[in-house]
């Protein structure tokens, strides 16, 4: 197992290298640059000399191979550079937002697990009953509805209902306070995006739990357990559910990694100062340094989460051994 | 009928008209006694690049950072619609120029202190303007060439600043009042790198640090989230500011900004909302919302790319401008887009702006749109360009770009032209504008802070002189008139030259088609008092006049929540 983990971690290096070259080239294939946006994005008159100087200072006038070499050597020596937009260290900008994104990812994952596993299990056990139909309708709706749209509906719903019943419209806070500083304020802000993203996330996991459990329930060892006269509850909990969790864990892992950098629209809808919003702004501002670093961060998270998922397989199913 | 309190203001820049004009509803009574305390919550739709006003140009920096700084002179906060400038760090009236209009001498206020306690002197002003106008190599300053008339800046004594110009220029005073000209302390600009690495450390210090003499001192900046400031007790305008502090919350998405005002999370947004959002807020909040409107110092125009044969024929360019129903659009397009005012090259109301009667003689401004389009078809036929095909190069931003671009497409189709619209994100759009092979017709907006049409006319000079000339034309006549206008001391003669210049740009050569001026709409919570809309979202942002008309308890609570007491 130890060797397997080391091998997987070493594979991270070529993966990151490939991703780095790809993102470097793709970003520069888009015309325009950060200086033009920064100095004249608002439609104000731009001094051509200032524009030129800005491009020189940010290294945009250097040949492409020099820019690529600088990026790769800096990245692999953990020097992530400074944002071309704010001039602050990239590591500082990301660290500032990481906490919020992580909290949302954890909350949405909790919502998902708490909803998906019980509902998926009930749906499988009560297959083709009205309960199953209701659960399937809810989960299909969850897959079909984009979480940012649900977010907008939640905000509008809160505004309209609070105005109708309390007389004053209320909406969640739009500036972040850490959980340990002001838990009430923090949760009143983050519970809504967690629900909006957790719903879609749980819908996928519910579907997966249901289908995996249905498959396991048809296995010979389940029939044997029933023939032995074991209680149905024990069959489900001890034998069927545990064995059906492998694909569910995979889905949860991938979704968790996605939430760490992929909540680009939902974070904007709720004005969350997280990694996703930073991603959108960096791409929009053509801030190459920040965008490259964010892509590398997301790639790293995906690789590491997949590794954790693989290790969890062995924990859940003792037949799986890595060497 | 909604009981909303509406202070519709109309641009009244013309001499003597200064004050905002109430068109309907109730204008907030200026005689009300301001209440002290509380924290104003602003939503800002853009991010802060750096804190250095001398290098930046975005409102994303101005709105949260401007309240920390003072200017030498500023737009009158009591009458921001006028072209009236008043002293901020100088004292008395604005100086009249001497030495045949080539010397301006400012007396500097005494007793002013920076937030760190350093006393302000004339040497700080000199160091500031030297950084803006004559930055050392490697230091980015975004307004160097606009101060091309300045020869030297000096301090004859500790409280006198003298600007010596190369030539008398009417554009000088408005340039000094530009809201980006934050006054810095000389000792900050000249400080040395503690690590001894960067010889220009002091010149760059303000990119990441704040030390001004503004109404508020810096408390906290959480990048991407908010900026907080608290009242500066030693502020040089006595009795101000009224607020205990302010919090500028970054909210790039417009729907968040609108809903946050509706949902009580923010009090005001200073850039402006579309008409539909104004109507929604008024419908939802009734008398709890106040709307201020103003013509906006942003042109929305287009230019045919004259490196392409189709647009080298001025009859085609004239036909294009004749096809646009500007007077009609001012009524109907303004209901869905942030454009409204019909005007020429200068913001209507400014002393050099063209009067309506004259404007109506220019191509594209005739009141009879049928007659105008008949003439357009005639010109196209004469040019052999009937049914000509071209593409509009537009920016992927709804307001007003996509909305007005789509309207223009329809207008041109009505004279038989075959038009397409290409909408691209901002970065590629700018890159395309710099490449004459990339586009046929460019949308050409221009948003300025101070209303300074004489200097701003530089945008329409030949491509060899104006880097942002989107029509890629060369017109030595315009270049000559521009220089003549900028060195003319007599306002009447200057206006005469401006008129010739404008007629050539819009009518005779039709190099540029000015469609409509933008319309600024600022709905805000009715309890926000003392702020008056300016014709630019960059102006009147010191917040020293603003106060909150809420209960004492609520003001205290806000201060407690945001500043901890």
Sign of torsion over alpha carbons A147, A148, A149, A155: positive
pLDDT tens-digit profile of B294-350? 999 999 999 999 999 999 999 999 999 999 999 999 999 999 999 999 999 999 988
Asked if B265 lies within 8 A of A173 by C-beta distance, the reply is yes
Choose the mutation target among B253, B400, B447, B561 for the interface with A, i.e. most A CBs under 10 Å: B253
Cα dihedral: A184, A188, A194, A196 (round 10): 160
Spatial separation of the C-alpha atoms in residues A273 and A263, rounded to whole Å = 11
* % of chain B at pLDDT higher than 70: 94
Nearest to A159 among B222, B263, B467 (CB): B263
CA distance, residue B11 to nearest chain A CA (Å): 20
Per-residue pLDDT at B6: 38
DSSP structural state of residue B505: I
Residue A216's contacts (CB-CB under 8 Å, 6 or more residues apart) are A222, A239, A240, A241, A243, A244
Asked if B427 lies within 8 A of A46 by C-beta distance, the reply is no
Per-residue pLDDT at B25: 35
> Chain A partners of B144 at a C-beta cutoff of 8 Å?
47, 49-50
Choose the mutation target among B57, B459, B463 for the interface with A, i.e. most A CBs under 10 Å: B57
Q: Scanning every residue of chain A, which has its alpha carbon at the shortest distance from the alpha carbon of B248?
A: A175
Gyration radius of chain B's alpha carbons: 24
Phi-psi region of B235 (alpha: psi -120 to 50; beta: other; left: phi over 0): beta
Choose the mutation target among B141, B206, B209, B224 for the interface with A, i.e. most A CBs under 10 Å: B224
Whether residue B371 lies within 8 A of chain A, CB to CB, comes out as no
With residue B187 as reference, give the H or E element that holds it: helix B186-189
Q: Cβ-count burial of A313 within 10 angstroms (0-12 exposed, 13-18 middle, 19+ buried)? A: middle
Spatial separation of the C-alpha atoms in residues A273 and A281, rounded to whole Å = 11
Per-residue pLDDT at B138: 86
Spatial separation of the C-alpha atoms in residues B420 and B408, rounded to whole Å = 10
Interface of B with A in 223-242 (CB under 8 A): 223-226
Asked if B426 lies within 8 A of A175 by C-beta distance, the reply is no
Beta carbon pairs, A and B, within 8 Å = 165
Is B36 in contact with B524 (CB distance < 8 Å)? no
pTM value > 0.90:
no
> Chain A partners of B140 at a C-beta cutoff of 8 Å?
50, 53-54, 57
Nearest to A32 among B264, B431, B446 (CB): B431
Indicate the length of chain A as a whole number.
Answer: 323
> Chain B partners of A85 at a C-beta cutoff of 8 Å?
47, 49
Whether residue B211 lies within 8 A of chain A, CB to CB, comes out as no
Of B548, B561, B542, nearest to B62 by C-alpha is: B542
Q: Scanning every residue of chain A, which has its alpha carbon at the shortest distance from the alpha carbon of B62?
A: A42
DSSP structural state of residue B233: T
Nearest to A44 among B145, B266, B447 (CB): B447
Whether residue A224 lies within 8 A of chain B, CB to CB, comes out as no
Whether residue A250 lies within 8 A of chain B, CB to CB, comes out as no
Which pLDDT tens digits describe chain B residue by residue (565 residues)? 333 443 333 333 433 333 333 333 344 445 689 999 999 999 999 889 899 999 888 899 999 999 999 999 999 999 998 878 999 999 999 999 999 889 999 999 999 999 999 999 999 999 999 999 999 988 888 888 889 899 999 999 999 999 999 988 888 999 999 999 999 999 999 999 999 989 999 999 999 999 999 999 999 999 999 999 999 999 999 999 999 999 999 999 999 999 999 999 999 999 999 999 999 999 999 999 999 999 999 999 999 999 999 999 999 999 999 999 999 999 999 999 999 999 999 999 888 999 999 999 999 999 999 999 999 999 999 999 999 999 999 999 898 999 999 999 999 999 999 999 999 988 888 888 888 999 999 998 888 889 988 888 988 999 998 878 999 999 999 999 999 988 887 888 999 999 999 999 999 999 999 999 999 999 999 999 999 999 999 999 999 999 999 999 999 999 998 898 6
pLDDT tens-digit profile of A218-246? 999 999 999 999 898 889 888 888 888 88
Q: Scanning every residue of chain A, which has its alpha carbon at the shortest distance from the alpha carbon of B206?
A: A87
Spatial separation of the C-alpha atoms in residues B565 and B563, rounded to whole Å = 6
pLDDT tens-digit profile of A97-138? 999 999 999 999 999 999 999 999 999 999 999 999 999 999
Of B85, B521, B38, nearest to B282 by C-alpha is: B521
CA distance, residue B46 to nearest chain A CA (Å): 10
pLDDT tens-digit profile of A197-207? 999 889 999 99
CA distance, residue B445 to nearest chain A CA (Å): 6
Interface of A with B in 120-179 (CB under 8 A): 152, 155-156, 158-159, 163, 168-171, 173-176
Residue B503's contacts (CB-CB under 8 Å, 6 or more residues apart) are B362
Whether residue B46 lies within 8 A of chain A, CB to CB, comes out as yes
Whether residue A49 lies within 8 A of chain B, CB to CB, comes out as yes
Strand order across the B245-250 sheet: B216-222, B226-231, B245-250, B39-44, B268-269
Low-confidence ranges of chain A (pLDDT < 50): none
Residue A57's contacts (CB-CB under 8 Å, 6 or more residues apart) are B138, B140
Q: Scanning every residue of chain B, which has its alpha carbon at the shortest distance from the alpha carbon of A44?
A: B447
CA distance, residue B297 to nearest chain A CA (Å): 10
Spatial separation of the C-alpha atoms in residues A124 and A120, rounded to whole Å = 6
With residue B260 as reference, give the H or E element that holds it: helix B254-262
DSSP structural state of residue A159: H
CA distances from B103 to A10, A87, B132, B160 (A): 70, 38, 18, 13
Can you tell me the ipTM of this complex? 0.84
CA distance, residue A131 to nearest chain B CA (Å): 38
Whether residue A39 lies within 8 A of chain B, CB to CB, comes out as yes
Per-residue pLDDT at B265: 94
> Chain B partners of A93 at a C-beta cutoff of 8 Å?
223-224
Asked if A169 lies within 8 A of B264 by C-beta distance, the reply is yes
Residue A2's contacts (CB-CB under 8 Å, 6 or more residues apart) are none
With residue A300 as reference, give the H or E element that holds it: helix A288-316
Whether residue A94 lies within 8 A of chain B, CB to CB, comes out as no
Nearest to A36 among B43, B247, B430 (CB): B430
Residue A117's contacts (CB-CB under 8 Å, 6 or more residues apart) are A205, A209, A241, A248
* % of chain A at pLDDT higher than 90: 48
CA distance, residue A257 to nearest chain B CA (Å): 22
Is B274 in contact with B45 (CB distance < 8 Å)? no
Nearest to A159 among B50, B262, B266 (CB): B262
pLDDT tens-digit profile of A245-255? 888 888 888 88
Whether residue B463 lies within 8 A of chain A, CB to CB, comes out as no
């Amino acid at each position: 197992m130890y060797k397997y983990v080391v091998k997987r971690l070493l594979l991270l290096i070529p993966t990151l290298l490939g991703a780095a070259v790809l993102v470097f080239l793709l970003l520069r294939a888009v015309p325009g640059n950060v200086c033009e946006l920064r100095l004249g994005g608002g439609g104000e008159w731009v001094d051509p000399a200032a524009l030129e100087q800005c491009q020189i200072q940010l290294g945009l006038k250097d040949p492409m191979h020099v820019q690529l070499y600088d990026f790769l050597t800096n990245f692999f020596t953990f020097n992530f550079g400074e944002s071309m937009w704010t001039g602050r260290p990239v590591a500082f900008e990301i660290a500032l937002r990481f906490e919020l994104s992580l909290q949302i990812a954890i909350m949405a994952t909790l919502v998902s697990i708490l909803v998906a596993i019980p509902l998926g299990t009930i749906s499988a056990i009560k297959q083709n009953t009205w309960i199953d139909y209701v659960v399937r309708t809810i989960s299909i709706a969850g897959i079909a509805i984009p979480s940012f749209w649900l977010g907008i509906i939640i905000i509008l719903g809160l505004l309209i209902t609070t105005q109708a019943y309390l007389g004053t419209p209320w909406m969640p806070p739009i500036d972040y306070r850490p959980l340990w500083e002001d838990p009430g304020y923090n949760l009143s802000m983050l519970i809504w995006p967690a629900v909006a993203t957790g719903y879609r996330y749980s819908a996928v996991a519910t579907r997966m739990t249901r289908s995996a459990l249905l498959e396991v329930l048809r296995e010979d060892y389940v029939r044997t357990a029933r023939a032995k006269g074991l209680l149905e509850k024990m069959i489900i909990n001890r034998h069927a559910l545990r064995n059906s969790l492998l694909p569910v864990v995979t889905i949860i892992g991938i979704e968790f990694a996605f939430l760490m950098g992929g909540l680009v629209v939902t974070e904007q809808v709720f004005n969350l100062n997280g990694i996703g919003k930073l991603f959108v702004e960096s791409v929009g501002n053509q801030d190459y340094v920040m965008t490259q670093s964010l892509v590398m961060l997301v790639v790293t998270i995906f690789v590491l989460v997949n590794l954790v998922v693989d290790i969890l397989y062995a924990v859940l199913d003792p037949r799986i051994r890595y060497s | 009928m909604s009981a909303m309190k509406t202070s519709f203001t109309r641009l009244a820049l013309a001499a003597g008209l200064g004050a905002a004009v109430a068109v309907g509803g109730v204008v907030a009574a200026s005689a009300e006694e301001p209440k002290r305390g509380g924290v104003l919550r602003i939503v800002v739709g853009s991010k802060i690049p750096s804190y250095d006003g001398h290098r930046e140009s975005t409102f994303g920096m101005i709105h949260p950072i401007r309240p920390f700084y003072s200017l030498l002179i500023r737009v009158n906060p009591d009458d921001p619609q006028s072209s009236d400038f008043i002293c901020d760090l100088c004292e008395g009236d604005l100086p009249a120029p001497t030495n045949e209009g080539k010397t301006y001498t400012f007396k500097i206020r005494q007793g002013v202190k920076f937030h760190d306690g350093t006393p302000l002197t004339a040497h700080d002003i000199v160091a500031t303007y030297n950084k803006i106008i004559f930055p050392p190599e490697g230091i980015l300053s975004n307004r160097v060439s606009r101060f091309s008339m300045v020869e030297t800046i000096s301090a004859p004594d500790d409280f006198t600043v003298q600007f010596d110009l190369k030539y008398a220029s009417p554009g000088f005073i408005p340039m000094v009042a530009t809201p980006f000209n934050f006054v810095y302390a000389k000792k900050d600009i000249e400080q040395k790198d503690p690590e001894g690495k960067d010889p220009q450390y002091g010149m760059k210090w303000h990119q990441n640090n704040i030390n001004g003499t503004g109404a508020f001192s810096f408390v906290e900046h959480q990048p991407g989230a908010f900026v907080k400031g608290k009242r500066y007790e030693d502020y040089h305008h006595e009795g101000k500011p009224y607020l205990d502090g302010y919090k500028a919350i970054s909210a790039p998405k417009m729907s968040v900004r609108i809903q946050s005002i509706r949902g009580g999370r923010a009090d005001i947004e200073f850039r402006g909302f579309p008409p539909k959002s104004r109507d929604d807020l008024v419908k939802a909040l009734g008398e709890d919302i106040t709307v201020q409107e103003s013509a906006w110092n942003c042109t929305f125009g287009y230019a045919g790319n004259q490196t392409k044969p189709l647009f080298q024929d001025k009859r085609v360019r004239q036909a294009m401008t004749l096809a646009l129903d500007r007077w009609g659009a001012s009524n109907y397009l303004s209901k869905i887009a942030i454009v409204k005012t019909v005007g020429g090259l200068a913001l209507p109301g400014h002393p050099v702006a063209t009067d309506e009667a004259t404007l109506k003689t220019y191509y594209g401004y005739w009141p009879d749109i049928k007659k105008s389009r008949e003439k357009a078809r005639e010109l196209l036929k004469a040019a052999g360009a009937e049914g000509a095909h071209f593409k509009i190069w537009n920016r992927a931003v709804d307001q007003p770009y996509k909305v007005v671009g789509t309207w223009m497409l329809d207008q041109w189709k009505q004279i038989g032209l075959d038009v397409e619209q290409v909408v691209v994100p901002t970065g590629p759009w700018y890159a395309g504008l710099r490449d004459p092979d990339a586009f046929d017709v460019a949308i050409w907006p221009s948003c300025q802070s101070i209303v300074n049409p004489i200097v701003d006319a530089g945008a329409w000079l030949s491509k060899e002189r104006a880097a942002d000339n989107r029509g890629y034309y060369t017109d030595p006549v315009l270049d000559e008139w521009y220089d003549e206008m900028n060195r003319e001391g007599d306002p009447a003669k200057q206006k005469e030259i401006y008129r010739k210049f404008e007629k050539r740009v819009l009518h005779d050569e039709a190099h540029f088609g000015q469609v409509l001026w933008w319309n600024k709409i600022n709905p805000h919570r009715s309890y926000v008092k003392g702020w008056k809309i300016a014709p630019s979202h960059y102006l009147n942002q010191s917040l020293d006049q603003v106060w909150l008309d809420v209960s004492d308890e609520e003001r205290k609570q806000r201060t407690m929540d945001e500043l901890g007491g």
